[in-house]
Amino acid sequence: MQFEFSLWALLRGKAQVQALELVQPTVNLRQNPDGEWNAATLAAAPEEEEPPSAEAPAASPVRNWRIEDGTILIERPDQPTLRLTGVELAATDISTTEPFPVRLAVSFAEQSRISTDGRLGPLDLSAPARTPFQGELRLEQFRPDALSSLITVPPELARLGAMSGTLKLRSGREEIAAQGKITLLGSEEEDDLSLQLDVKLPPDLRRVEASETIVEYGEARVRAQGSVELAPPYALNLALTTSEAELGALRQVPLRLGYPLPVSPPAATGRVTSDLKLEGTPEEWVASGKAKVTRLAVKPEGFPETLRTDSLELTLDPERITAAPFNLSLAPGVV
């Protein structure tokens, strides 16, 4: 442990720590039943005889923090303790009224790590998780459910599994905005799914607004815009477009995103160009729009031969699928 003291404060007969460096410490952050954190003591009010000007940042007693190879234990009432290891922290000019530079890296498990580099603040000691941040976020084999003891993680996010990538992040008390590329890691490299994100979420992560998101899996590429409700009442409202997407890879995309298809279509190959609207809930949704399938080969159950066509044009609405040169009604027994 190393300290830096203010010379001016020492000359006045007071010891004021300006910087604190901890090597391999264990830090316990505790929240009591009233929602107060023990970290609130890190930002005590300034001394009354020297009130700061209205323009000056409200400083904490220790303005500069360094942690090397630390461990942080986060304890909340009725929640399992969250253990963060390999913590590297550099925070300068910590303030409760102004943003300040910060670099942070933590490990949740072996090979699972998050690191950030940007500006944090003003520090919200009553709700640290809602302190504004703007900078870069890097994920290494990170699993969202690792945060379940700290915040409520929607199951749709938790079941995405491990992910890696880099995001430009802007978070505040009302909104979180993220841009960048994330890869959902599969058991094999060819099972990885890439997400090029431009999304906004509320602090409670209940809703995702996608202004321009691209999903890539194998030879399937899907462009998506719209919203997904991640908490009751669950809902989907998405515009989806594809261009020459490989059909076999395309049918796997919903499953990799945690939204399996309500029915299992027969195995097929081909290329799909589409412009569709998807609305409803994860369990009951309808698709509308147009799609064109080229070089289609499909073997329906019970058919002895594979059906093939060079081109098939589809028009979808909530009650009927029109496929040149025939119509298929969704009503049982009607073709």
CA distances from 328 to 166, 205, 238, 289 (A): 45, 40, 24, 15
Q: CA 312 to CA 327: how far, in whole Å?
A: 12
109 located within any domain: yes
Q: Where are the beta strands (DSSP E) in the chain?
A: 2-5, 17-23, 26-30, 64-75, 82-91, 100-109, 112-120, 133-142, 163-171, 176-184, 193-201, 207-217, 220-229, 235-246, 268-280, 285-298, 307-317, 320-323, 326-329
Q: CA 178 to CA 118: how far, in whole Å?
A: 14
Domains: count for the chain: 1
333 located within any domain: no
207: three-class secondary structure by DSSP: strand
Q: CA 268 to CA 251: how far, in whole Å?
A: 9
Among 8, 4, 118, which Cα is nearest to 65's?
4
Q: CA 253 to CA 184: how far, in whole Å?
A: 11
First-residue to last-residue Cα distance in the chain: 78
Residues 266-282, buried b or exposed e (16+ Cβ, 10 A)?
eebebbbebebebeeeb
227 located within any domain: no
202 located within any domain: no
> Which residues neighbour 123 within 8 Å (Cβ) at sequence distance 6 or greater?
43, 60, 94, 95, 96, 100, 131
Task: Say if CB 113 and CB 106 are below 8 A apart.
Answer: yes
pLDDT score of 45: 45
CA distances from 32 to 11, 29, 45, 79, 126 (A): 38, 10, 21, 12, 11
Q: CA 268 to CA 300: how far, in whole Å?
A: 9
- The pTM assigned to this predicted structure is 0.75
pLDDT < 70: residue spans in the chain: 1-17, 39-61, 149-150, 262-263, 324-335
Centre a 10 Å sphere on the Cβ of residue 212 and count the other Cβ atoms it contains: 12
Which range of residues forms the domain containing residue 134? 1-155
58 located within any domain: yes
116: three-class secondary structure by DSSP: strand
Q: CA 120 to CA 102: how far, in whole Å?
A: 6
254 located within any domain: no
7 located within any domain: yes
136 located within any domain: yes
Q: Which residues pair with 224 in a beta bridge?
A: 213, 240
